[in-house]
Chain A
Amino acid sequence: MTALAALFVRDLKLSVRLGGGALMGVLFFLIVVTLMPFAIGPDLALLARIGPAILWLGALLASLLALDRLIASDYEDGSLDLILMAPAPLELALAAKAIAHWLTTGLPLVIAAPLLGFLLNLDPAATGAVALTLLAGTPALTFIGLIGAALTVALRRGGLLIAVLVLPLTVPVLIFGVAASNAAIVGPLPFGTPFTILCALALMSAVVGPFAAAAALRHGLE
């Protein structure tokens, strides 16, 4: 257990220190949301209506951007071999890495979302709903992305391939994330219906992700 805790703390430290690029995702998120009105037009009523969708798409792309560093940097400096040979189960090690990754790349997106909500003319209730759905949904994105990161770890063109492999799998998360946000704003559904399904998706990907990623690493690197 201490080995997993040490790995968790190490990943946290590596990503917040120089060269870790923890806040790069938030910066990207800000830029994507800023670009949207240029493409759509500065119509505040329209922006308020599609604001949750814009925030969700921005967060999805931003969390995708950070995935290629999730395992690849450990592969490059050799520490992945140590993790593979360690007595601690690989599945749990990968889960610890994914949680650390989410804390440094996913959670900042959730915190930034309410601020970006102002830019998109969202009212406070809508902003809260989007932030809550992102809080439940971004872990799912990280755990699904863990599979893509593990599959492409040793490849030269891994970054682009991750997007191709991972994005179709994120369709349900996107659907229920945006649906729950919209349900809180305009109805007619109660917020809880899509939100609980979103939570279920996050829990399921937290189970499937580490196991599939561990299988991909064991079979891919031998």
Chain B
Amino acid sequence: MPLIDLANPTRFLALSHRLLPWFAAATAAAFASGIYLAVSAPDDYQQGATVKIMFVHVPAAWLAMGCWTVMTIAALGTLVWRHPLADVAARAAAPLGAAFTAMCLITGMLWGRPMWGTYWVWDGRLTSVLVLFLMYLGVLALWRTVEDPSRAARAAAVLTLVGAINLPIIKFSVDWWATLHQPASVLRLGGPTIHSSLLTPLLVMALAFLLLFVTLHLAAMRNEIMRRRVRTMLMLQAEAAGH
């Protein structure tokens, strides 16, 4: 089936209906093996058992950035090709991205408390993830303020693209700012090298998180398509009742 057929929401619904159970099962299997590997992984000689927070923290951080990439591609689809599913994909990815970013921040704070002695430091990495979180909240606020879904999609698409241009600049300036304030920072997340006994569970957990994202994204896209159909039906009903 050519990819263009997926542009039809009905075909997308049919295909995603068939695919979704497989993705859900694969997610469950990946999480089962990932959590088993993470629990049985050896403790770090310095960090102790808290190193296991990394198995949730790092995949969440990767997905926090990955979700904005998905939204950027979807935004191009919305603005350039007026792709009917691109709006839906962008809208479904935004809350997921915000959730993964929040998860990254919270697990990072839980790790920081025993390791650094404080929940929060104004380190470059932490701060740029916090700004990323604020940008996600801005996109969500825009989605929730504009009533018409396709207009909201185009406004959110412009904001997403502006964000995609600005996020590397924000990252660069925050890093520059943090190194200016705290030279020779000892607060580095993870060492320069990582032993394979920790790397394998991390990669399995990353795969599990990726599958979780795909599953949730497909499910959220299905919900969004149906929500729009309900909205259209209600508006047609209201119009008919008005005549």
Contacts and interface: CB of A to CB of B under 8 A. Distances in A.
B137 interface: yes
Contacts of A172: 166, 169-170, 172-173
A219 B155 contact: yes
Interface string A170-191: 0110011001000000000100
A204 B170 CA distance: 13
Contacts of B155: 151, 216, 219-220
Interface in A151-210: 151-152, 155, 157, 161, 164-165, 167-169, 171-172, 175-176, 179, 189, 197, 201, 204, 208
A147 B157 CA distance: 12
A152 B163 CA distance: 16
B159 interface: yes
Given A151-B155, A179-B177, A215-B79, A165 B170 contact: no
Contacts of B154: 216, 219-220
Interface residues of B, number: 29
Given A164-B141, A171-B131, A220-B154, A151 B169 contact: no
B146 interface: yes
A201 B176 contact: no
Contacts of B142: 151, 161, 165
Nearest to A166: B138
A134 interface: no
Contacts of B173: 171-172, 175-176, 197
Interface in B163-181: 163, 165-166, 169-170, 172-174, 176-177, 180
A191 to B, nearest CB: 14
B59 to A, nearest CB: 24
Contacts of B228: none
A165 B155 CA distance: 11
Contacts, number: 71
Interface in B101-141: 131, 134-135, 137-138, 141
Contacts of A175: 173-174, 176-177
B218 to A, nearest CB: 27
Q: How large is the interface on A (under 10, 10 to 19, 20 to 34, 35 or more residues)?
A: 20 to 34
Contact of B151 (A157, A161, A179, A220): A220
B236 interface: no
B161 interface: yes
A212 interface: yes
Contact of B169 (A157, A201, A212): A201
B159 to A, nearest CB: 6
Contacts of A169: 162-163, 166, 170
Contacts of B145: 152, 155, 157, 161
B158 A165 contact: no
A168 B131 contact: yes
A151 B158 CA distance: 8
Interface of A: 147, 151-152, 155, 157, 161, 164-165, 167-169, 171-172, 175-176, 179, 189, 197, 201, 204, 208, 212, 215-216, 219-220
Given A168-B135, A219-B157, 9 more contacts: A155-B146, A157-B145, A169-B162, A169-B170, A171-B170, A175-B173, A176-B173, A179-B176, A216-B154
18 contacts: A151-B159, A152-B145, A157-B145, A161-B141, A161-B142, A161-B145, A164-B137, A169-B166, A171-B131, A172-B169, A175-B174, A176-B173, A197-B173, A208-B165, A212-B161, A212-B162, A219-B79, A220-B154
